[in-house]
Every structure is written in C-alpha cells, then in structure tokens.
Amino acid sequence: MTRAQLFEQILKKKSYLCIGLDTDPKKLPQHLLDFEDPVFEFNRQIIEATADLCVAYKPNIAFYEAQGPKGWVSLEKTLEVIPQDIFTIADAKRGDIGNTSELYARAFFESMDFDSVTVAPYMGADSVKPFLVKDGKWVILLALTSNPGSQDFQMLKLADGSEEYLFEQVLRTSATWANSDQMMYVVGATQGEFIERVRAIVPDHFLLVPGVGAQGGSLEEISRLGLNQQCGLLINSSRAIIYASSGEDFAEKAREAALEVQREMEGYLEKYVG
Amino acid sequence: MTRAQLFEQILKKKSYLCIGLDTDPKKLPQHLLDFEDPVFEFNRQIIEATADLCVAYKPNIAFYEAQGPKGWVSLEKTLEVIPQDIFTIADAKRGDIGNTSELYARAFFESMDFDSVTVAPYMGADSVKPFLVKDGKWVILLALTSNPGSQDFQMLKLADGSEEYLFEQVLRTSATWANSDQMMYVVGATQGEFIERVRAIVPDHFLLVPGVGAQGGSLEEISRLGLNQQCGLLINSSRAIIYASSGEDFAEKAREAALEVQREMEGYLEKYVG
C-alpha cells in the first residue's frame, strides 16, 4: 500500500487507529475454544467488527510464534480475512545481516503478504535495506520504544557534540536509507515530550505509536504534537480494544472501544489536519 | 546446559566449533529433493557427520521462518536429532517489550527446547530479562556484529566522557542483568582488533563469534585474543562447512571441513587454555 492510499483510507474513515492483534490463546472467550482454530476465529470476529473504524491491523508475531507451526497457520488465515484496503503490519522486530534479513523480508512480504514489518535498528543499514524491496512495502523501524528499557540505550547521549540521543541518530541515519514513502518509525507514546524532537528530524514520516491506552500515553497530546499534513500517525491500541470484554460479546465491545477512539481521532483530524 | 557442562564438552571434543544450520532450500543437493522434508534430511545428515567435532549447532531462524509453517516443522525435527550433550542456539535476534519477549522465550525454551536464543539489545533491560528464566537457558546478546552495518550505531561514541562505543555500553549495562552463567555475547570476528576491548569488559563470558570463514575473520587471531580459562569462545562456521560440497558427498565433505577447523582449535586450546 502506498502512502497516498493509506492517507485516502484515513480521510475516508476519519481514523488513524491501528488495532493490535496480540491474540493470547489464554485470554480467549470460553465459547471460542470449540472452534478448530480459536485464535483465528477470535481475530476474524474482531476484524469483522472493527474494519470500518481502523486503517491498520498489527499482529505481534510473538503471539503466533509461541504457538509453534499452528500459530503461523492462524496468522496466515488472519491475514487473508483482513480487507485489502487496510494496512497490515507484521510486528516482528526482525533484523539480521543482509542476506539473512532478505529471508525475513521474503517471509513477511512474499510467503505472507504484509504491507510492512517492524525492524530493529541495532545491526545497521545492511540489516534494514533488504526490507526496502519494492514500492508499497514498508519498514517500520524501532526508534524510541514505549517500554522502560528504552532508557538503557535509546536515550544515551552521543559524543558528536550534537547533544542528541541515540534514537535521534537512528532517525537521522535511517532517513537517508529510505524516504517517507517506504519508511515509518515506532515512537513510544508514553514519552510525549519526545514527539517534538522526532518531528524535528522526520517531519513527513508516518509514526507508529504504541502505548496509547494500556501503556498510558495520551491520545490528545500525541495527536497535537505528531499529526502532519498527511496525518503521519498510526496509533496502536491492542488490549484495550481486543480484550474490552472476555465474554460472548467480545467483538461488540471491541467495536465500542474502537468507535470511542475513532471519534476522538475524527476531532483531531479536523482540528490539526483540516 | 550449564557453563560447566559446556566446558566439559569443549575439553572432551577439543573443539569450540559451532556449526550454523543456515539451511537454504535452494542450495540443497539434488538427490535430497525426493525426501518428504529435504531441509530436515540435510540437517540430519550434517549433524550425524559432524556431531563429534562441534559443541554447538546454531540454526538461523530466518531460514526456517521463510518457509512458512513447514519450516517450523523442519526446525523442530532438526532440534530432536541433535544429541543432548550439544549446545543449541536459536539464532533469532528477537527482542520486544517485556510481556512479549516472554512469549518469544516460551517459543524457544518451552515449545522448543533450545539452550539459548540470540537477542537484540536496542529495547533494553525489560526486553532481555524475560529470556533469563532459568539455569541452563542462555541469552546471547548482540554486542558487536560482523556485518558492515555494525558501523552505523554500534560504533557510535558516547557522550559520557568514557570514550566508549555504544557496543561497550551494551556489554557493561547488560552484564549487570545476568552473569556469565546465563549470558553470552555475539562479537563479530571480522573486527579482531575489538576482541581485546570486549575482553576488558567481560573477561569471563562466552563470546559467540560469527564471521570466521565466509565472512573473513582469522581463527588464530580470535582464539589468541578471545580464549579465557574456561575457553569462553564458541566460533561459528556455517556455509564453509554445510555447503563444502553440493553433491551426494555433502555430509562427508562437511565432516572434512569441520575436522580441519577442530584440529586447528585443538592446537589453540592446548596453547592458550592448557
């Protein structure tokens, strides 16, 4: 999916919501356990109930990988029921030496047909570039994450006289590898004060913001500081939506939770994007 | 596997060779393609031919993941035919926020029974600690990798007045998370000059050194600079061994290639470990 197509979706749905399909077999509503593939059935119903309210779905691959081969089957089937006009993110945080990253790119872009993969930056250019294979396929690079451990290395200051943090150098360097038509960044919402620093370096790129909701970021603050003229934000919510209820009404309650976020986003789009 | 058990293996086999099972379906000898699972059959024969010459096997997970669900089946079957006394490394380079890293740990340590997983450091403490779950299960943390991209971020100097590189801070900080009984480090052999800097910070830890052979590091230099009193090195070779021949004699030729490395290692163990 191209940036123009993504922006078109955002305007049409008045939403920049990404729903995280972090589907934990231990948290499924009881009545789904009779299905042959309960994880897939859960995802299918969540997607059916929310597809008009969000512009992206993001399965975190760990949840599927932890189930062994059958988890990958659930993932493939899930991908097949996501409508074509919705952006898909394999939240895999992969990254390896060049010829090995190629294999990961093949797994997510060819064997499966994801629009994007999250990639870890530590191994540098040749670990990231193999994911930049063709138009409409995206790298979403980890820049500043929302977890406590982001303090350990991402927030180290560099000795180049710039007074910049490592995550800022990651943005600056990686922005030379691909432009805002192929690269996005993960920027943690629990650190709203840093959104401005990010926007100073990458004003045009889309930012994938996890951590709104369960992890505690403010949707208003992120939107005010992060939205640009082509929206430029995908805000992820996982648990607050998909586990809004653990009963038979889980899909209905997920829709209600997604609708609440979408309505708030509609207001920010009017106010800040126009 | 504990550190004492690993060292015992090393002394018994006079080897600190790790063989990388980076099995590419496109590079298999023709005669294996008739098997139901050619990747597994290739691995099985490589393992049978080399198990007395090496102390570890390291499948790079990308090669299996790229095959979809059936790749994970090949991986599980491969793990089952590796003798119990050989150390196993899931070269997965995973890492996510805490509760998600737990799922990856479960995938590699419980669903499968690997002794260790390679982990990327960028997301910090809470992304790594979930892999430190019990004795005999190891994190092998990326410190200094052997690819060109290692220059991009790992070699940035920090502004703390220490004149240290980022990878040195990664060593220093992560060494407070786990001792040398649970943590090892990936240190690229193409950068022999840095082995001494690494040993100054982590004298006791095992280092997993990729990049000898195809990627060009010198076994003599790495051994001289890296060996400690409990060996402290696992040196990986993948392509130079497993693809030593593409014919029907691939396993025999793999054995010859492994034997050559083992004999060289035997000399260094005598000379530097005693």
- What pLDDT score was predicted for residue B217? 66
Write down all domains in chain A, each with its CATH number in brackets.
3-273 (3.20.20.70)
Are A107 and B65 inside 8 Å of each other by CB? yes
In a 3-state reduction of DSSP, which class is residue A22?
Answer: coil
The beta-carbon neighbor of A152 closest among B96, B100, B125 is B125
Cα B138 to Cα A103: distance, rounded to the nearest angstrom: 25
Instruction: Work out the mean pLDDT of chain A and round it to a whole number.
Output: 95
Nearest-CA residue of chain B relative to A101?
Answer: B62
Are A122 and B124 inside 8 Å of each other by CB? no
Closest CA to B239 of B13, B53, B58: B58
In a 3-state reduction of DSSP, which class is residue B231?
Answer: strand
Task: Show residues of chain A in contact with B106, CB under 8 Å.
Answer: 66
Cα A121 to Cα A175: distance, rounded to the nearest angstrom: 12
- What pLDDT score was predicted for residue B216? 56
Residue to mutate among B27, B39, B65, B186, with most A CBs inside 10 A, is B65
Are A62 and B150 inside 8 Å of each other by CB? no
Give the catalytic positions of A in this structure: 93
Range in A176-180, A211-215, B24-28 with the lowest mean pLDDT: A211-215
pLDDT digits (tens, 9 = 90+) for A64-90: 999 999 999 999 999 999 999 999 999
Are B66 and B23 within 8 A, CB to CB?
no
- What pLDDT score was predicted for residue A192? 76
Handedness of CA B60, B64, B65, B69 (dihedral sign): negative
Q: Given a cut of 90, is residue B53 above it in pLDDT?
A: yes
Handedness of CA A72, A78, A84, A86 (dihedral sign): negative
Distance (Å) from the alpha carbon of A163 to chain B's nearest alpha carbon:
8
Q: Given a cut of 80, is residue A191 above it in pLDDT?
A: no
Range in B16-25, B95-104, B208-217 with the lowest mean pLDDT: B208-217
B228, β-bridge pairs: B231
What is the phi/psi pair of residue B188, to 5°?
-70, 130
In 10 A of CB A180, how many CB atoms?
A: 17
Pairs across A and B, CB distance < 8 A: 187
Cα A249 to Cα B247: distance, rounded to the nearest angstrom: 59
- At position A95, the amino acid (one-letter code) is G
The beta-carbon neighbor of B123 closest among A68, A112, A145 is A145
Cα B106 to Cα A135: distance, rounded to the nearest angstrom: 35
